[in-house]
Amino acid sequence: MLMRTSDASQIVIIGSGIAGLFCAIRLANAGHFVKVITKQRPIDSSTNWAQGGIAAILDKTDGIGLTSHIEDTLKSGGGQCDISVVNSVINEASDRIQDLLDIGVDFERDVDGEFHLAKEGGHSSRRILHSKDATGKEIERALSQTAEHHENIELMPNNLAIDLIQCEHGNPKAGISGVWCLDQTTQTVMTVHADTLILATGGFGQLWSQTTNPSVATGDGLAMAFRAGAAVKNLAYIQFHPTALAVKSDRPFLITEAMRGEGGVILDKEGLGKWQTQCKENGRIISPEPYSFTLKYSKMGSMATRDIVARAIDRQMKITGDSHAFLVTSHLDESLLNSHFPTISSRL
């Protein structure tokens, strides 16, 4: 969210996830001086916790690949997509991935040096670039290191933006002249002047008692913008990730969708029992997918989009009274899973 003020000499970005740091580096490379305010350490962000990866068609001349990515996205969007946004995101993806590579992000490659592409829900082919199962950590590492050493960027960690300063209090049209911040080291409130202010403060998953989001995801930027008179829309568009580890802990641990892309299947207790019986009767391990209740909700079963799979699990748990579902991987190659998903593997 960009809040433009009088001229463009002092640029302030709030937030040091992929949105804030990517923007800061682009502006800094173009010769602008940028301050990045962030409430904890620069790496503390949802970005740092992203696991699965980023979908992109890398070859800009691959018309068939681009068309099918656009089609999959529109289908997954259930008629809600803004087609011009879908087109621009998918057509620009290869250039933005190249920007990330130039900044030093290391995506997984095969032995022959080609990118290893994973698959996730709603995608009809493999097109997800990733860094094992810790893609966000790798992206955040490269971005924060680049920003830290960039002569045109000043990182201001442990600074909590509290509110936007309006040029004329109560008159959104007059613009924004800066932001009030709490320096959490000295516990003092300071005024940071900004000619251009960019809010890149991420989401608000912490509104829910159960969330895979980090503690910084409290919707501060959205609230500040709203208080300053900005129009907000589509606040109901919250993504519920279908699979997190169902054990009591400080916060749910996400199990990436790429696990289903590699063949993981969601079963309920009954489906699990039936599948195990069939395996015994056949004397060999068969695919669990036909026993998945998710097939009642979509013919893509466990590989349907997140909204469909999340709703299917929720509905099935309400029908059966179960407290959780199973993500079955025991029919898959264990060493391959361990090597693709080292973070999840070590946590489990």
Ligand X SMILES: Cc1cc2nc3c(=O)[nH]c(=O)nc-3n(C[C@H](O)[C@H](O)[C@H](O)COP(=O)(O)OP(=O)(O)OC[C@H]3O[C@@H](n4cnc5c(N)ncnc54)[C@H](O)[C@@H]3O)c2cc1C
Question: 8 near 32, Cβ under 8 Å?
Answer: yes
User: Which among 35-43, 57-65, 69-77, 297-305 is the span making contact with ligand X, rule CB under 6 A?
Assistant: 35-43
Q: Which stretch binds ligand X (CB under 6 A): 34-42, 71-79, 228-236, 293-301?
A: 34-42
Q: Which of 12, 19, 103, 265 binds ligand X (CB under 6 A)?
A: 19
Q: How far apart are CA 212 and CA 210, in angstroms?
A: 7
Q: Is 146 one of the binding residues for ligand X (CB under 6 A)?
A: no
Task: Tell me if residue 306 is catalytic.
Answer: yes
Set 4, 306, 311, 315: catalytic member: 306
Interface with ligand X in residues 178-217 (CB under 6 A): 200-202, 212-213, 216-217
Closest by alpha carbon to 22, among 100, 97, 129, 92?
100
Determine which helix (DSSP H) or strand (DSSP E) holds 55, and give its type and residue range: strand 54-55
Q: Which of 39, 119, 127, 137 binds ligand X (CB under 6 A)?
A: 39
Q: What is 216-272 written as a DSSP string?
A: T-S-HHHHHHHHTT-----TT-----S-B--S-SSSPPB--THHHHTT-EEE-HHHH
What is the footprint of ligand X within residues 232-261 (CB under 6 A)? 254
The encoded tokens of residue 29 equal 């490379």
CB neighbour list of residue 292: distance below 8 Å, 6 or more residues apart: 265, 266, 267, 271, 301, 302
Interface residue with ligand X, options 12, 23, 27, 44 (CB under 6 A): 44
Q: Which of residues 102-121 bind ligand X (CB under 6 A)?
A: none
**Any idea of the CA torsion for 13, 19, 25, 31, to the nearest 10 degrees?**
-50
Specify the stretch interacting with ligand X by CB under 6 A; choose among 15-23, 61-69, 73-81, 321-329. 15-23
156-175 positions binding ligand X, by CB under 6 A? 160-161
Query: Quick check: 56 binds ligand X (CB under 6 A)?
Result: no
Residue whose CB is less far from ligand X, 91 or 343:
343
Closest residue by Cα to residue 43 from 22, 12, 15: 15
Residues binding ligand X: number (CB under 6 A):
35
Helices (H) and strands (E) counted in the chain, each on its own, are: 10, 13
Rounded Cα–Cα distance for residues 122 and 69 (Å): 10
- Any contact of residue 73 with ligand X (CB under 6 A)? no
Residue placing its CB nearer to ligand X in the complex, 108 or 322? 108
State the distance between the two ends of the chain, measured CA to CA, in whole angstroms: 38
- Residue closer to ligand X by CB (options 160, 272) is 160
| 11, 12, 13, 20: residue in contact with ligand X (rule CB under 6 A) | 20
Binding site for ligand X (CB under 6 A): 14-20, 37-40, 44-47, 49-54, 135-136, 160-161, 200-202, 212-213, 216-217, 220-221, 254
Residues known to be catalytic: 306
